[in-house]
Homo-oligomer: A and B are copies of this chain.
Amino acid sequence: MTTDQQTQRPQAAQLDAADPLATQREAFYTPDAGQLTSYLDGNSLGRPLKATAANLQNFVHDAWGSRLIRGWDEQWMDEPTRVGDRIGEVTLGAAAGQVTVGDSTSVMLYKLIRAAVDAQPGRDEIIIDRDNFPTDRFIIEGIAAERGATIKWIAPNPASGVRPADLDGILGERTAVVVLSHVAYRSGFLADAPGITNAVHRAGALMLWDLCHSVGSVPMELDAWGVDLAVGCTYKYLNGGPGSPAFAYVNAARQNRLQQPIWGWMGADNPFGMTEAYRPAEGIRRFITGTPPVLAMQPIKDMVELIASVGMDAVREKSINLTEYAIRLADELLVPMGAAIVSPRNAAERGSHITVDHPMFRDVTAKLWERGVIPDFRPPHGLRIGLSPLSTSYAEVELGVTAIRDALAELQ
């Protein structure tokens, strides 16, 4: 490996040349020059695959436009669980019949957390950490207010995330459900999901993992870990497009003992029976509410199949290599300018993005966006470098971090 003479840093071009996944980048749509120089925000919105526009057109013509209402009988009624099963198999370590696609992440969180709280009348506490993503915290605030539950807050080390020991003294016989992010949206900390799930189960409570920042970039084994509930988003590493639907995982062993509160016709046991009273469907379908967003879930399929073709282990390996490289570049180019890396340095405790803090990063981000270098910014002063393993090159990371350094220099 040729390295930079002064720093011993490997050269990006050589890393790309040696990358077994390098050719996967060709599967993604490339915008016109000037629009995009370095995309470092796949953790917020993944890039579209080239296949997606064509597949959407085919869907509009062949499925929607030609089969019309017949499509529901022929295919679409099962689309949420068919796409869900495939997400489960390829990315979650979940056997069939436990995943469904629909709603937004926030609505899915509401449905599953309500189901967990309502099913355990003697348990009136919900545990979440103060650094969790706002929508998770807000949804739980609302549920606590309406159900008379108490929120028990974990205050983790902000530069990392929640560790099993953080639950000591908080978990107890009043705990209904624990809601944590598998990968923290800010620090990128990757939680010990099996360890925490075990601790929660020892207390007799249910565990819900928010997979938004891990699904499609970190392999998982929800079934093997005994996870009860999970919710995830599909517009980050599953490349479903802006506002694409969420998915929910409900462990088969829990499904028929839980009931979610939004009793729509598509979660009923006989949606087209036009029956008098609601009776929830058996199994995962009871977690569906309204008409499934069939058109909106089409792009997800393209990315799940691309991931399947290389496997989650290869995705994870490249993800680690990219974040290692980004940390190395940040250490070399940004830390000397007063920036601080606030993500775990141990790859085993890190997802697919890193965050670097500097008081000027809000202005830096605005300047970078004009230049087609696209990280994102999270208050108070975190710049996130998100590395989508199948669409990001090492050259892009080097160019991006160098551009951050240059913008910082201009503004200082």
Residue positions of A touching B, CB distance < 8 A: 29, 31-32, 35-36, 39, 41, 44-45, 47-48, 52-54, 56-57, 60-61, 63-72, 76, 102-107, 110, 118, 130, 133-135, 137-139, 141-142, 146, 233, 235, 240-246, 261-266, 268, 271-278, 289-297, 299, 369, 374, 376, 378-379
Contact = CB atoms under 8 A, between A and B. Distances in A.
The quantity of this chain's copies bound in the complex is 2
Most buried by B among A63, A64, A278, A378: A64
Given A106-B264, A106-B265, A135-B290, A41 B69 contact: yes
A41 B64 CA distance: 13
A243 B278 CA distance: 21
Name the 6 nearest CB pairs between A and B, nearest first. Answer: A104-B290, A106-B264, A106-B290, A142-B263, A31-B66, A296-B296
A137 B277 CA distance: 8
A296 to B, nearest CB: 4
Contacts of A41: 68-69
Contacts of A76: 242-243
Given A48-B65, A68-B39, A134-B274, A106 B294 contact: no
A263 B56 contact: no
A293 B245 contact: yes
Most buried by B among A71, A240, A245: A245
Contacts of A32: 66
Contacts of A134: 265, 268, 271, 274-275, 278
Contact of A138 (B39, B53, B265, B374): B265
Contacts of A48: 60-61, 64-65
A146 B261 contact: yes
Contact of A263 (B138, B233, B244, B293): B138
Contacts of A294: 241-243
A135 B243 contact: no
A294 B56 CA distance: 15
Given A235-B291, A243-B293, A296-B295, A53 B45 contact: no
A289 B107 contact: yes
Given A32-B66, A48-B65, A296-B296, A242 B72 contact: yes
